[in-house]
Amino acid sequence: IGEERKISLAPHCGSNPPILDPESGGGHVEKLADFNTYVSGSPECKHAVLLASDVYDAGFYAVVPDFFNGEPYDPNNPDRPKDAWMKDHSPVKGFEDAKLMIDALKSKGFSSIGAAGFCWGAKAVVELTKAELIQAAVILHPSYVTVADIK
């Protein structure tokens, strides 16, 4: 940023634009800042994530599995404290589930697979990297990732 560079796009960029399908996933499409935007989650929540990505335009097949099986952590649920929730949704289980996704993608013929992990998901991505199951990794706001993992 601040330095001008000539950026050349791959020839397939823009040939496969994203389709915002309100019938896919648990979210919906709405106008936000005059952009058609796929949104998911409670509008009552005061925390948000902006995902700025061009993976659709670059011809990638993108998958976003629900590793929590419809049960995201809810700090306001006294019947399901964090320790109890983590027993069912540990980062170790996330890694095991992610391996199943990698196997499923490979069975579909994908030979090069990358993964991005946010917060809890960063640990699964680090473990996939250590096991040499993926070819590219991105982690953001990593939780449960240790210095030993990075080394």
Q: What is the pLDDT of residues 12-40, one digit of tens each?
A: 444 444 455 555 556 677 777 777 676 77
Q: Which pLDDT belongs to residue 49?
A: 62
- The pLDDT value recorded for residue 39 is 73
Residue 98 lies in a domain: yes
7, part of any domain: no
The mean pLDDT of the chain is 77
Q: Domain tally for the chain?
A: 1
Q: Which helix (H) or strand (E) holds 83?
A: helix 82-88
By residue range, what is the domain housing residue 93? Answer: 63-149
Which 3 state secondary structure label does DSSP give 25? coil
143 with 119: CB under 8 angstroms?
yes
**Which has the higher per-residue pLDDT, 14 or 52?**
52
> And the tokens for 73?
């952590």
In a domain, 137, yes or no: yes
- Examine residue 40 and state whether it is found in any structural domain, yes or no: no
Q: Answer yes or no: are the C-beta atoms of 27 and 38 closer than 8 Å.
A: yes
In a domain, 116, yes or no: yes
Domain assignment present for residue 108? The answer is yes
Instruction: Supply the pTM of this predicted model.
Output: 0.68
Specify if 39 maps to a domain.
no
SS3 string of 85-141? HHHHCCHHHHHHHHHHHHHHHHHCCCCCCEEEEECHHHHHHHHHHHCCCCCEEEEEC
Structural domain includes residue 54: no
